[in-house]
Amino acid sequence: MARRRASHVRIVFSYAFDWVFIAVLLALGAYVSRLPPKFSRFSLTDITIQYPHAEHDTVSFLLCGVLAVLVPVFVMAAWSFVIDRVRYRTISVPALLWEFNCAILGLALSLTLALVVTSSLKGIVGRPRPDAIARCLPEPGAQDRPVYGLSDISICSQTDTSVLNDGFRSWPSGHSSTAFSGLFFLSLYFAGKVCLFDNKGEVWKMVLVLLPTLGASAIACSRILDKRHHGTDVLSGTILGIASAWISYRLYFPPLSATEREGRAWSIRHWADSKVSPQPNNNPSAYDDVDEEDEEHEIGLATPTDNVPRRRPVGDGRNSSPVIETYGQSSFYPERYELADLHAFNVDIDRDGFANLPNSSDVNNNHEPERGNNNLEQPRNPFQS
């Protein structure tokens, strides 16, 4: 069955639910963060919570939000509308908007997931901060209870409820989870765009990818220096932020190992889409019906890298080997070659990872035959004289 073409309205509605879900998560996180925490019992002799209370943070939550939210948005916008515009000179404006939309969706989902989980855990656990006793302001001469050896907030003379409540929101670190959910997402975005794992070993790519993560690490470490969090709080917030960023990135972008996609977002998702399925046919010459133009070409989102081959089973779709599909110049149906046959050829130096998908450089250098040419000849090895 041929693939149904997507309309603009169906595409917008399919992703509008994502934005609604993110807005609901944001509202939920904001509401939970305002609830009073569970005040855990503590000991007045616990030296880990006897640090003085600093009035100002090295990195305020506002500054953390700017670094974790606005900086990635600005950088991804510049990459989408400037770098990609230069990189793919024939790319359309809708394609640029599409890439930017997926990047912002992933970033927003990462941040809201981290916010909801962090706020919920802070309120449920209610762990005292390192400066909890200084916030509590115990009465002069106060001591721990003789039976259980622990105290509660009944001994506190603090009149500012917000200061006291915040003193029992130590685990996990909100600065750490926010910083890593935003900046580590930016690191993943960089890693995909520069093809970090393309087996070329270029150091500048690693430096670029690590810069946002190092910034997030600096923000997290400042919470320990300010005596706002314990080390385990920061570590837990870091893991939470990394997990949120990774999950959100993989929802909208391919794995970093798929370097042939050059960090481009997944194909358009829309509801009521009938995908092409393999036909149960024992005749190897019988092909599935393939649309000459799919929905990406229909709305103008196709780019020069859309020539990435598609893998599809042959035969009954269960026990058959994957195939490589390439589109010839005169045939409506794709040319198909078994992977076992293609692996016998020393192909592809243009990072697409597949055979018989040449660009102009491949053809001119005699690395691969011209598109539509059914004659697979042994290519010349450029490393042999």
The catalytic residues are 175, 229
Q: How far is CA 308 from CA 6, 93, 263, 327, 350, in A?
A: 21, 20, 13, 11, 12
Length of the chain as a residue count: 385
| Residue 161 neighbours by CB under 8 Å, 6+ apart | none
What φ, ψ does residue 258 adopt, rounded to 5°?
-85, 70
Among residues 106, 70, 156, 114, the alpha carbon closest in space to that of 241 is found at: 114
- Decide: residue 198, CB within 10 A, 0-12 exposed, 13-18 middle, 19+ buried: middle
| Structure tokens, 128 | 């005292």
Query: Which residue type sits at 175?
Result: H
Residue 122 DSSP one-character state: H
Q: How far is CA 380 from CA 212, 290, 375, in A?
A: 42, 33, 15
Q: Which residues pair with 42 in a beta bridge?
A: 151
Query: Which residue type sits at 271?
Result: W
Residue 261 DSSP one-character state: G
| Angle, in degrees to the nearest 10, between helices 71-78 and 93-125 | 160
Query: Which residue type sits at 50?
Result: Q
Cβ neighbours, 10 Å, residue 304: 12
CA 48 to chain CA centroid, Å, is 36
